[in-house]
Structure 1
């Protein structure tokens, strides 16, 4: 009797899975055949086609070492053959390839999968690949392919199932005939290109397997075709960031297989009809943000039992939130910000939404107090209720939110800041707290002993008209990166402990009544002396007006804003040590003396405002070295001499220098005499550098701590 192996047992979720009996002799035979037989030798015509592809490249990374003529192409890097030596799979992902895709790949009659994504390939996509009767998966995403697609009549037996041409430079219309003949197509991703025209109405014709359509980030316009309702198997449709208009067609809601609907950033209008919404029982994601929708959220939303994400932000929707929203037990994300919703939030029983992580109701017309049921959402990471008409005092129940990292309650009518800070300081998870625009005319609390906020990175208590001094408990917030206390009535000097906040790089204490000299310790802030800063990823963007987005606090400008106070004395010469400084504002103070030459060493500086002081002397020629400087204002001082002409100075308007009657230049009222003429700049044109565009981080929130906020910078930053 032949010996057999004993059955193997694996435990999975306390359930034993038994593997079948396998004869030992059979195992040995398979291993022998596998080890003894050489790899299949590829066909000569396949080898020639692959070498033709190689010839079309001018940067081949390591392929030239592997892809050698007169060697078995089945052993080449990225190549897989079947037992007959036919090339069936080409996978050359992120290989650094540059050049054109050769039509010779279309001669590979057995090729099933072709993946060239993540390279720098250019030129057009060969029609031979689209006409292939064997290729089932084609992925050329994330390249530099360009040009237009021409009308192609593919073979009737086209095998194409998955086509990904996203993140390229394609333009023009996508020919409908090319799609019509791909009857086996299941997934099409055309996102992040420059396709124009209307969405082809024939996209679903004779495609019983068609399940995924992604047209996002293009230039499609017109209406969403009602014919999409013929896609009986459609699960995902994404067409955000286009120019689509009209309403959501009723036919689309007949596709009950839909799990993901995403049309953000278009021009869609109309309402969410109750009889339509309730049909989509399998829907997981509904994203209609940044459109022109109006009306209410229908109570039928409660029938979407699988719904996880609801994005209706930045529309014109109104009415109260439907109580049935609490029936969507799987919700993780609700973004309703920037609409006209009203009423009491307590109409929704949030305690049933145990999976909720993000709740954003910013900029609406909600009234009442913060519902206690929200504090039952133990997984809540981000809560934003800013810019509403909420009132009352903060409840200690908020400390039940053990995962809360972002809290924005700005610009409501909350009272008792002392109570609020005592409650919130107990949170061990908060990284961003925005409570400005509340607590009107109260006093900034200070404490002899203070513990808490140990992980806080950004704090905004601005626009409250608070009295008092800069509180000493701030010195204990050792993880602080951003501090906004602007537009209050704080008085007294800047405390000397300010340089003990090693990570602080964004400080706005403008529009207060602060006095005294600018301390030299402010010129010794470590995060402003170093161009390096910790990266903090945001789940949602912050906005710097008009519409410049950032997703990381390190993308915010490294800033000192001390404007509109009562500071006296001189500008400390040590300011030149703040090498990372991008924005420096000392306007509307009582400073005197000269502008330090050391400011010329702040080579990252983009904004410098010293207006409305009593500064004297000449404009330092060293400022010509500030090649990134885009906004400059020294108006209303007592400066004298010639305005420099080198560097960025020729780009600044005369208003930047007005109110200094002793200044002279060819464009000002006071022209320079020949002896006073500004010296010719010795800085060559070749030294000019383009202005820096701050980096954007598009990552998610896990791994580095979460900040989740959207700030609007009008003149300065509006946090929350």
Structure 2
């Protein structure tokens, strides 16, 4: 289900919610006919649908309803199952379904149904599984009268709708058989309900994530003696983890990320059956207790984005079933060598980004031969990268940004043997070294993202990059590379993001750039991230490259000549930055064909002529800058270009307009000018370029983004 596919839920087993699917399967034998009353009740459902996607053809009143599509009957000719999931149904849910006295399972999930959830279904005397998830149902849940007999309902899935309001208390008091309640991804408010724990002795799954619940985690959880999964992430819960929670030793999955929870983890070791612990993005402090080693079944540990400090306890080595350790964005310190990673043979993902670990990368880590993702960036490690990292044959994602690495040639030679690497981020290391030349580097045939930025590397764009035929994203910005852009760049058929800003590259903008296939095509790229990639806030998480913009960033170099007319071929590009170069001539007309552009920066060049009127056709343009050129004529007063501030046009003395000192038709010159100094405005340019894409999801490592966003 959707909440469990979220990054903070990543790794949750689905067998709890699979219970609903199991219960939906009926082994009943076919029968000859259903009753007229049941046929009438089903036809009432059909009558309430504004779109049934062909259901009418099957549900004919002159045929036996037991033969209708999605209907199953018992041997005694009673309807037991209505299963119409993913049928594209629109309209309302008929309350007359409550008249089906033999109905056991009702599945209307994954449609476009609207309106409320009829009380007749929740209070049914027969339904044991009710699944209306992934629809557009609205309103609140009705209170069931206290005089109503106890309900047989075992599984209630109302997730991914538009429900609002508080949970009705008497409703849960009557559901003494409830086992699974999934109300995630709605807009419920108020406190977390714990009544099911008191009323239903077999209650085991409570999924409330992605709502607006507030207040403390309620006391009384000790009554939930059979609870196996408690998930209430992405709400507004506050306070500390109550002692009653630690007494629920049946818990296997505890997920409370993205709340405001405080305190420490001292009682967590009592939950000896925990498989998943996700308390990421809260306000937890103190340290991880030594007793963490008592959680022998633990597979997923997510404590990221908290204020936890201290050293990692050596007892973590006793959690031998660990698959994922996510501790990024905390205040951990000390040496990692105290943890014997060789005992964690199942470990696949280790994320320690943004902490204060020091010392060397432990050699025992290279014994984790199942490791697929390793992020150690932005700590205080020192020393050379060990050749033993080549033994991590499954490694796909490696991020070592800002890790005081030296000797880039040797580092790339070591990593070249990691044949499964698809993502490699090693920027802000190797200060003032030289970019390796072609005959020194081999391998990386599966690499899709490479970031060697912020290193002040000298040399040229190396030809060995041309061998990386699967490369989609390349960051070489903030170095001291010189020479021209090589023509082989067009042979990188999957390249869709190129950032070489703030270097010393020269020559003209080559036509080879205009022949890069992916910058001309709307096609997307394969998956490239094993770990979630974040913007500044943990609420923005990206795993799919389809959210990544198509970008060509060439700013802050020494390119000269005219902007090629062929630039109009790059119709898939959403951000084009040619700022702070020595480009001359007019803004080419074909640039107006780039109708997907959201960012266009041509500032700080030597461009002449008028502003092409057809630029107004770039309707998605949200950032536009042509300041500090030698453009002339009127600034558009209507259309898209009229919506940008004066600063977008400053430093062009010959431009005129009603909002400028130089009115069209006058002889006055615009004296406003902005000094363009290479390197000073880099962060501003990038903030413009990246900011436009946050709402659609910029895929890049958090370390790189942090340079521009804090």
Fold-level similarity (TM above 0.5): yes
CA distance in 2, matches of 1:156, 1:328: 47
> Counterpart in 2 of 1:310?
301
The reply to whether residue 176 of structure 1 matches residue 169 of structure 2 is yes
Match of 2:114 among 101, 119, 122: 122
- Contact kept? 1:541, 1:710, Cα under 8 Å: no
Measured at CA, do residues 696 and 632 of structure 1 come closer, stay the same or move farther in structure 2, by a change above 3 Å?
closer
SS at match of 2:507: strand
TM-score, normalisation: structure 2? 0.90
CA distance in 2, matches of 1:419, 1:584: 34
CA distance in 1, matches of 2:31, 2:353: 63
- Contact kept? 1:711, 1:717, Cα under 8 Å: no
CA distance in 2, matches of 1:201, 1:482: 48
The reply to whether residue 527 of structure 1 matches residue 522 of structure 2 is no
> Counterpart in 1 of 2:399?
408
SS at match of 1:413: coil
The reply to whether residue 453 of structure 1 matches residue 461 of structure 2 is no
Match of 2:85 among 80, 93, 97: 93
Which whole-Å deviations, capped at 9, do the CAs of 1:504-533 have from their partners, x for residues lacking one? 111111111111211111121111111213
The reply to whether residue 645 of structure 1 matches residue 627 of structure 2 is no
Measured at CA, do residues 247 and 548 of structure 1 come closer, stay the same or move farther in structure 2, by a change above 3 Å?
closer
Q: CA offset at residue 227 of structure 1?
A: 1.3
- Contact kept? 2:155, 2:178, Cα under 8 Å: yes
> Counterpart in 2 of 1:287?
278
SS at match of 1:448: helix
Measured at CA, do residues 693 and 339 of structure 1 come closer, stay the same or move farther in structure 2, by a change above 3 Å?
closer
Measured at CA, do residues 197 and 333 of structure 1 come closer, stay the same or move farther in structure 2, by a change above 3 Å?
same
Match of 2:659 among 667, 671, 676: 667
SS at match of 2:563: coil
CA distance in 1, matches of 2:530, 2:32: 49
CA distance in 2, matches of 1:147, 1:540: 37
SS at match of 1:135: coil
SS at match of 2:459: coil
> Counterpart in 2 of 1:635?
627
Measured at CA, do residues 544 and 206 of structure 1 come closer, stay the same or move farther in structure 2, by a change above 3 Å?
closer
Measured at CA, do residues 390 and 264 of structure 1 come closer, stay the same or move farther in structure 2, by a change above 3 Å?
same
Measured at CA, do residues 286 and 627 of structure 1 come closer, stay the same or move farther in structure 2, by a change above 3 Å?
same
> Counterpart in 2 of 1:239?
232
> Counterpart in 2 of 1:6?
none
> Counterpart in 1 of 2:287?
296
Measured at CA, do residues 229 and 214 of structure 1 come closer, stay the same or move farther in structure 2, by a change above 3 Å?
same
> Counterpart in 1 of 2:187?
194
- Contact kept? 2:65, 2:71, Cα under 8 Å: yes
Match of 1:497 among 481, 488, 492: 488
Measured at CA, do residues 38 and 157 of structure 1 come closer, stay the same or move farther in structure 2, by a change above 3 Å?
closer
SS at match of 1:560: strand
> Counterpart in 2 of 1:469?
460
Q: CA offset at residue 312 of structure 1?
A: 0.2
CA distance in 1, matches of 2:69, 2:189: 37
Measured at CA, do residues 210 and 303 of structure 1 come closer, stay the same or move farther in structure 2, by a change above 3 Å?
same
- Contact kept? 2:431, 2:457, Cα under 8 Å: yes
CA distance in 2, matches of 1:435, 1:449: 18
> Counterpart in 1 of 2:618?
626
The reply to whether residue 512 of structure 1 matches residue 509 of structure 2 is no
Q: CA offset at residue 647 of structure 1?
A: 3.3
Rg (Cα) greater in structure:
1
The reply to whether residue 543 of structure 1 matches residue 534 of structure 2 is yes
The reply to whether residue 226 of structure 1 matches residue 197 of structure 2 is no
SS at match of 1:622: helix
The reply to whether residue 566 of structure 1 matches residue 555 of structure 2 is no
Q: CA offset at residue 405 of structure 1?
A: 0.3
SS at match of 2:317: helix
CA distance in 1, matches of 2:479, 2:47: 68
The reply to whether residue 151 of structure 1 matches residue 119 of structure 2 is no
The reply to whether residue 72 of structure 1 matches residue 64 of structure 2 is yes
- Contact kept? 2:548, 2:697, Cα under 8 Å: no
> Counterpart in 2 of 1:357?
348
SS at match of 1:423: helix
SS at match of 1:517: coil
Measured at CA, do residues 521 and 716 of structure 1 come closer, stay the same or move farther in structure 2, by a change above 3 Å?
farther
CA distance in 2, matches of 1:693, 1:440: 30
Q: CA offset at residue 712 of structure 1?
A: 5.2
- Contact kept? 1:382, 1:708, Cα under 8 Å: no
Measured at CA, do residues 708 and 383 of structure 1 come closer, stay the same or move farther in structure 2, by a change above 3 Å?
farther
SS at match of 1:443: coil
Q: CA offset at residue 146 of structure 1?
A: 0.3
- Contact kept? 2:413, 2:442, Cα under 8 Å: no
- Contact kept? 1:40, 1:81, Cα under 8 Å: no
> Counterpart in 2 of 1:29?
none
Match of 1:268 among 251, 261, 264: 261
CA distance in 1, matches of 2:214, 2:87: 35
Measured at CA, do residues 696 and 562 of structure 1 come closer, stay the same or move farther in structure 2, by a change above 3 Å?
closer
Which whole-Å deviations, capped at 9, do the CAs of 1:200-223 have from their partners, x for residues lacking one? 243422211000000000000110
Match of 1:53 among 45, 50, 57: 45
Q: Greater CA deviation, 707-716 or 638-647?
A: 707-716
- Contact kept? 1:432, 1:708, Cα under 8 Å: no
Q: Greater CA deviation, 531-540 or 74-83?
A: 531-540
Which whole-Å deviations, capped at 9, do the CAs of 1:473-515 have from their partners, x for residues lacking one? 1111111101101111111111121111111111111111111
Q: CA offset at residue 544 of structure 1?
A: 4.5
Q: CA offset at residue 551 of structure 1?
A: 2.1
Which whole-Å deviations, capped at 9, do the CAs of 1:440-475 have from their partners, x for residues lacking one? 111111133643100001100101111111111111
- Contact kept? 1:599, 1:622, Cα under 8 Å: no
- Contact kept? 2:31, 2:74, Cα under 8 Å: no
CA distance in 1, matches of 2:311, 2:393: 28
Q: CA offset at residue 644 of structure 1?
A: 2.1
- Contact kept? 1:79, 1:89, Cα under 8 Å: yes
Q: CA offset at residue 537 of structure 1?
A: 5.5
- Contact kept? 2:535, 2:702, Cα under 8 Å: no
> Counterpart in 2 of 1:614?
606
SS at match of 2:600: strand
The reply to whether residue 483 of structure 1 matches residue 464 of structure 2 is no
Measured at CA, do residues 714 and 354 of structure 1 come closer, stay the same or move farther in structure 2, by a change above 3 Å?
closer
Which whole-Å deviations, capped at 9, do the CAs of 1:90-132 have from their partners, x for residues lacking one? 1111111111111100111111111110111100000011111
Which whole-Å deviations, capped at 9, do the CAs of 1:39-85 have from their partners, x for residues lacking one? 33112211111111111111111210111113211111111111110
CA distance in 2, matches of 1:693, 1:437: 23
CA distance in 1, matches of 2:312, 2:52: 57
Q: CA offset at residue 400 of structure 1?
A: 0.6
Which whole-Å deviations, capped at 9, do the CAs of 1:334-360 have from their partners, x for residues lacking one? 000000101111111111111111100
Q: CA offset at residue 539 of structure 1?
A: 4.2
TM-score, normalisation: structure 1? 0.88
CA distance in 2, matches of 1:578, 1:104: 57
SS at match of 1:177: helix
CA distance in 1, matches of 2:546, 2:586: 32
Which whole-Å deviations, capped at 9, do the CAs of 1:380-426 have from their partners, x for residues lacking one? 00000011111111111001101000000001111111110011112
Write the mapping of 1:428-443 to structure 2, written as runs, cut at 5 A. Answer: 428-443=419-434
CA distance in 2, matches of 1:87, 1:553: 46
